[in-house]
């Protein structure tokens, strides 16, 4: 009888462990599903609604990349790409933008208050051709521009006419690479449907270590890029969000093609990414929006 009770006790313990294990696995699966279905793309717009100011960012860990537009009455319109990091409630960005036909760079800092981003102001200086704040700890946020979080599909509340572009030269250099958002128009010889081109794009940010960000069809991507001599180009490891979409095959082909790229050129505002002179992907320049 005692032996029978011991066997029954062991059976109950094992059954309990199995149930706990099943719950753990179920919980883990739910967590993974939650992570994969979560969004990492955020948009903010001028909370006052008078001028057109729009920040669109992708978040991978604490790494941030995206696009920023200022169209303020009485001032030159400027727009371009941003890259930086979240530090607690503070967003620190390097802003590379086009204004009056030239490329400029300055540091931008926002502090998050609930769902509002407030821009900071303070003394700045030029370091290696870039405008940076002298001391971020002394920035003032009281009178800064306030951006509220909005649906990324919502158009700008106010609009400003796009300045006319300069005549396009036949061959263009790396400064043009940083001026635009590049939307995929052809992949491995196959034309991308116009309606889908905005789902595949790249943004390049210069620096001691160049950065690339964008979207691969379904997931947001971010990584390093290196420009080499004689139009050489090499992408580093590309980080990606983990969204699951119905058609992932084209994204896989796109990322594989980026890994194989070793050359680049821009002709008539079309970016050619190549391997040993053969085209892998063609991108059309699009004004950042």
Q: Does the pLDDT of residue 51 top 60, yes or no?
A: yes
Q: Please, what is the average pLDDT of the chain?
A: 78
How confident is the model over 10-47, as pLDDT tens digits?
444 444 544 444 443 333 333 333 333 344 888 999 86
How confident is the model over 169-215, as pLDDT tens digits?
445 778 888 888 999 999 999 999 988 998 999 999 887 778 999 99
Per residue, what are the HEC states of the chain? Answer: CHHHHHHHHHHHHHHHHHHHHHHHHHHHHHHHHHHHHCCCEEEEEECCCCCEEEEEEEEECCEEEEEEEEECCCCCCEEEEEEEEEECCEEEEEEEEEECCEEEEEEEEEEEECCEEEECECCEEEECCEEEECCHHHCECCCCCEEEEECCCCCCCCCCCCCCCCCCCCEECHHHHCCCEEEEEEECCEECCHHHHHHEEEEEECCCCEEEEEEECCCEEEEEEEEECCCEEEEEEEEECCCCCCCCHHHHHHHHHHHHCCEEEEECCEEEEEECCEEEEEEEEECCC
Band of the pLDDT at 288, cuts 50, 70, 90?
low
Domains and CATH numbers, the chain: 41-150 (2.40.128), 171-286 (2.40.128.270)
Q: Write phi, then psi, for 154 (nearest 5 degrees).
A: -75, 130
Band of the pLDDT at 161, cuts 50, 70, 90?
very low
| CA separation for the pair 211, 233 (Å, rounded) | 12
Q: Which two tokens stand for residue 233?
A: 């180009």
Q: Does the pLDDT of residue 162 top 70, yes or no?
A: no
| pLDDT at position 35 | 31
- Bridge partners of 95? 82, 106
How confident is the model over 245-279, as pLDDT tens digits?
887 899 999 999 999 999 999 988 899 999 998 99
């Amino acid at each position: 009888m005692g032996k029978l009770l011991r066997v029954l006790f062991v059976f109950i313990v094992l059954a309990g462990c199995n149930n706990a294990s099943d719950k753990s696995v179920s919980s883990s699966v739910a967590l993974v599903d939650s992570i994969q279905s979560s969004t990492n793309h955020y948009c903010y717009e001028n909370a006052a609604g008078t001028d057109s100011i729009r920040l669109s960012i992708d978040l991978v860990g604490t790494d941030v990349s995206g696009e920023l537009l200022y169209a303020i009455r009485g001032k030159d319109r400027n727009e371009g790409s941003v890259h930086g990091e979240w530090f607690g409630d503070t967003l620190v960005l390097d802003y590379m933008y086009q204004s009056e036909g030239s490329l400029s760079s300055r540091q931008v800092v926002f502090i998050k208050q609930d769902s509002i981003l407030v821009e900071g102001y303070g003394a700045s200086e030029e370091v290696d051709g870039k405008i940076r704040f002298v001391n971020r700890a002394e920035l003032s946020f009281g009178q800064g521009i306030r951006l509220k979080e909005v649906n990324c599909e919502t158009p700008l509340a106010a609009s400003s006419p796009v300045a006319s572009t300069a005549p396009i030269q036949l061959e263009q250099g790396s400064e043009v690479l940083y001026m635009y958002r590049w939307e995929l128009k052809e992949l491995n010889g196959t034309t991308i449907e116009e309606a889908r081109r905005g789902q595949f794009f790249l943004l390049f940010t210069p620096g001691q270590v160049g950065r690339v960000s964008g979207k691969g069809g379904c997931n947001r991507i971010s990584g390093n890029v290196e420009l080499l001599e004689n139009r050489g180009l090499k992408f580093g490891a590309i980080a990606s969000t983990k969204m699951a979409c119905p058609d992932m095959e084209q994204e896989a082909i796109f990322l594989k093609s980026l890994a194989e790229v070793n050359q680049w050129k821009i002709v008539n505002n079309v970016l050619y990414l190549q391997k040993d002179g053969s085209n892998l992907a063609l991108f059309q320049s699009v004004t950042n929006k």
